[in-house]
Chain A
Amino acid sequence: MEKGEEVTVDFETFVHARSAALARTAYLLTGDVHAAEDLLQETLARSAERWSKIIRGGDPEPYVRRVLYTRAVDGFRRRRLVEVHTEHPELAGPGDEADAHASRLVLREALMRLTPRQRAVLVVRFFEDRSEVETAALLGCSVSTVKSQTRHALGRLRELAPDLLADFSPVEAP
């Protein structure tokens, strides 16, 4: 196998292995499967542009996730979603109770009321379970910015989904 083909295979292998996890993060950042698809596709294209250098440094996922967050906060937010999807089949699974679906819908709507940066901070801090220092490094901002964005985001979520976060305390956070 040629070297170029090996690199291609590496990329495709990575995408197949990690696309599910990346898709979930992209969804949390955008709140829409189509927007998540576009964000992830652009992130992968940008990563493919420099793939040889990325894999030379080891695990490519930190770089890919950094691009994902950066695009979600700085670049992707400039694009307005033309289509408004009122139905969200991705929130309902087979055998789910109605309450579970409703809770997901409330959380999704609440997340969408946050700013892209607040959403990104929440996802990195509480979905990826990163520390404040790690979150700051990943998003390219200061730790104090992470703290303030986290405080504002959680406060906003409590207002929008009081039942969901009633018994949640930041102390529980990593």
Chain B
Amino acid sequence: MNKLHEALDDLTTYVPEHVQMDAGEAWRSGRRRRTRRHAGNVAAVVAVLALLAGAVVLPRVVEPPPAGNGDGGGVTSYPTRIGHQWFVGDLPDRPGPVAALIQRGPTWEVVSPTGHRWMLIEEDDADLSPALSPDGTTLVWLDRSPRELVIHDLVTGEEIRLGGWRDPNEPITGNYYLSTQHPHFWSPDGSKLLLAASPVVGHDFEGRVVVDVATGALTEVPVEYWIAGWYDDDSLVSVRVPRNDLVRVKLVGLDGRVEREVDLRLARRISNAFLGQWGAAYSPETDELLVVDRGRRSGVHRLPLTAGTEARSFDVEAVDETCAPGWAGDEPYVTRYQGSNALPYLVDPGAERFLVTVEQQLESRCLIWAADALGGSPNESLFGTSNAWWAWYWRELLIGAALAIAFGTAVLWWRRRPREPKYADE
């Protein structure tokens, strides 16, 4: 026994008489602490599960189920965000109405109204020349092996395959060429599709072919000029720019007869009178023609067919002139670059904005929309059209947070577990 021990022992001789302990209160306090600890553990587990559910399960829950047994209605909304997915599956037979087709490098993908993507084809083949019906329920594309035009009903899963198609790069052995560098146009009722195709015999590329998607029947339509769309379910709008201040419009029946001819004067001369296949889009809803100047200024002209003169023109920068312009309901849009992505952009002054944002790494080229999708309501997301990195990686961040909480809880549990000191001499 050392002297310091004796001194310390002496110091505390009378202490116990002055220290009052309440064993009952200590016990009750311990019970309360244990209850709180258990509740905290349960809350942590629930939080982790909720975060995992939010990050993984929820996006699948909100994804529309296959509409094979649905009411046959078409698409009524469009996604505002298209981002990366952990897995992009093949397009199912019956995904239901879809909103768009997106070209990424050599592949085409199908996009649901909520932005979920499916692979249409994985081959190194950009010349599918796909088309999506206005209601998003019918998909048409050119299959390469064997070379067939596929008409796929996305609601019922039924498919029609039409053989005998060739493109200009192949030997002349089929019945029709299909120009994959032209847009295709759906009739307003979605029953017919106008293809930039022409009979092999005669090599007449001014001609077009109309496909009846219900039966697969083909009708050759002799038409001149560039096509801007359907005037109604039985006639087409063809456009030419004979002078740089004049747009000549012909309404042509499916038998090739010109039903009406209209000259529309431009308020501002366009710099390039060569309109091209991506230069015009007609809207049956507003009876207006949208013309994109392929010159230096990328001017966009809005021309009501009834007025005979231009209503409005706007200058838009960074327009991709190899993507077709179009109409989102009664608002015109062009395809404009946002970073490396070509995206639909509303051009009306005061309402200019991108309709959708796509994650940069997807490097999307032209998007092909179901007309009713863009005419419907946007599926707003939590982060709007933000391009911030965390807005694209919120699922990964949530899972990381959940794992961090789980790890932290495990460490806390490990460190706070009851332990007895281990003495060397025990």
Is A137 close to B, CB under 8 A? yes
With known contacts A63-B420, A168-B3, A89–B26 Cβ distance under 8 A? no
- Shortest distance from the beta carbon of A94 to any chain B beta carbon, whole Å: 9
Contact with B along A43-73 (1 / 0, CB 8 A): 0111111110110011000110110000000
* A15 and B11 contact, CB distance less than 8 A: no
Q: Is the beta-carbon distance between B20 and A46 smaller than 8 angstroms? A: no
Once bound together, how far apart are the Cα atoms of A167 and B3, in whole Å? 8
Main secondary structure of the interface of B (DSSP, over half): helix
Partner of B23, one of A11, A49, A168, A173: A11
**Chain B residues within 8 Å of A138, by CB:** 421, 423
Q: Is the CB of B18 within 8 A of A48?
A: no
**A77 at interface, CB cutoff 8 A:** no
User: How many angstroms from the CA of A58 to the CA of B420 in the assembled complex?
Assistant: 10
The answer to whether B15 touches A126, judged by C-beta atoms less than 8 angstroms apart, is: no
Residues of A within 8 A of B17 (CB): 90
Which residue of chain A lies nearest to B3 when distances are taken between CB atoms in the complex?
A168
Q: How far is the CA of A53 from the CA of B31 in the complex (A)?
A: 13
Contact with B along A118-131 (1 / 0, CB 8 A): 00001100110111
CB proximity to A under 8 Å, residues B10-29: 10-27, 29
Report the bound CA distance from A8 to B15 in whole Å: 26
User: Residue B21 contacts which of A19, A89, A90, A130 (CB distance < 8 angstroms)?
Assistant: A19
Q: Given the known A-B contacts A50-B34, A127-B5, A134-B425, are A27 and B27 also in contact in the complex, defined by CB atoms under 8 Å?
A: no
Q: Is B296 an interface residue (CB 8 A)?
A: no
Indicate whether A24 reaches chain B with its CB closer than 8 angstroms.
yes
A45 touches B29 (CB 8 A): yes
Chain B residues with CB under 8 A of A93: 13-14
CB distance from B35 to the nearest CB of A (A): 9
Task: Output the least CB separation between B426 and chain A (Å).
Answer: 9
Specify which chain A residues have a CB less than 8 angstroms from the CB of B5 in the assembled complex.
126-127, 129
Fill in one digit per residue for B411-426: 1 if any A CB lies within 8 Å of its CB, else 0.
0000000111111110
Near A by CB (< 8 A), chain B positions 23-63 give 23-27, 29-31, 33-34, 37
Instruction: Give the residue name and chain of the B residue nearest to A8 (CB).
Output: B27
* 8 Å CB contact of A57 from B9, B11, B33, B418: B418
Distance in angstroms between the alpha carbons of A62 and B31 in the assembled complex: 21
Q: In the complex, are the beta carbons of A23 and B23 less than 8 A apart?
A: no
Judged by a CB distance under 8 angstroms, whether B7 is at the interface is yes
Is A98 an interface residue when CB atoms closer than 8 A count as contact?
no
Interchain CA distance A164-B423 in the complex, whole Å:
31
Q: Known contacts being A27-B12, A47-B30, A167-B3, is A133 close to B19, with CB within 8 Å?
A: no
Bound-complex Cα distance A167 to B420 (A): 36
Say how far B38's CB is from chain A's closest CB, in angstroms. Answer: 10
A1-60 with Cβ < 8 A to chain B:
8, 11-12, 15-16, 19-20, 23-24, 26-28, 33, 36-37, 40-41, 44-51, 53-54, 57-58
Tell me the complex Cα distance, A126–B158, Å.
90
The answer to whether residues A27 and B15 also contact, given A53-B418, A126-B5, A127-B8 and a CB cut-off of 8 A, is yes
Assess the A173–B418 pair: CB atoms within 8 A: no
Q: Is B85 an interface residue (CB 8 A)?
A: no
B23 touches A12 (CB 8 A): yes
Minimal beta-carbon separation of A10 from chain B (angstroms): 10
B-side contacts of A15, CB under 8 Å:
21, 23, 26
| Shortest CB distance A29–B (Å) | 11
Query: How far is A168 from B31 in the complex, measured between Cα atoms in Å?
Result: 45
A151 at the interface (CB under 8 A from B): no
B69 is an interface residue with CB less than 8 A from chain A: no
In the complex, A81 has a CB within 8 A of chain B: no
B10 CB, nearest partner CB in chain A, Å: 7
Select A168's contact among B2, B18, B30, beta carbons within 8 Å: B2
Report the minimum CB–CB distance from B154 to chain A (whole Å).
60
Most buried by B among A103, A108, A127: A127
Inter-subunit contact B14/A41 (CB<8 Å): no
Interface residues of A in 132-146 (CB under 8 A from B): 133-134, 137-138
Distance between Cα atoms of A93 and B26 in the complex (Å): 29
Q: List 13 A-B contacts (CB under 8 A).
A: A12-B24, A24-B12, A37-B19, A41-B26, A49-B34, A51-B30, A57-B418, A90-B14, A107-B11, A126-B4, A167-B3, A168-B4, A172-B3
> Which 3 A-B pairs give the minimum distances between C-beta atoms?
A48-B30, A44-B26, A45-B29
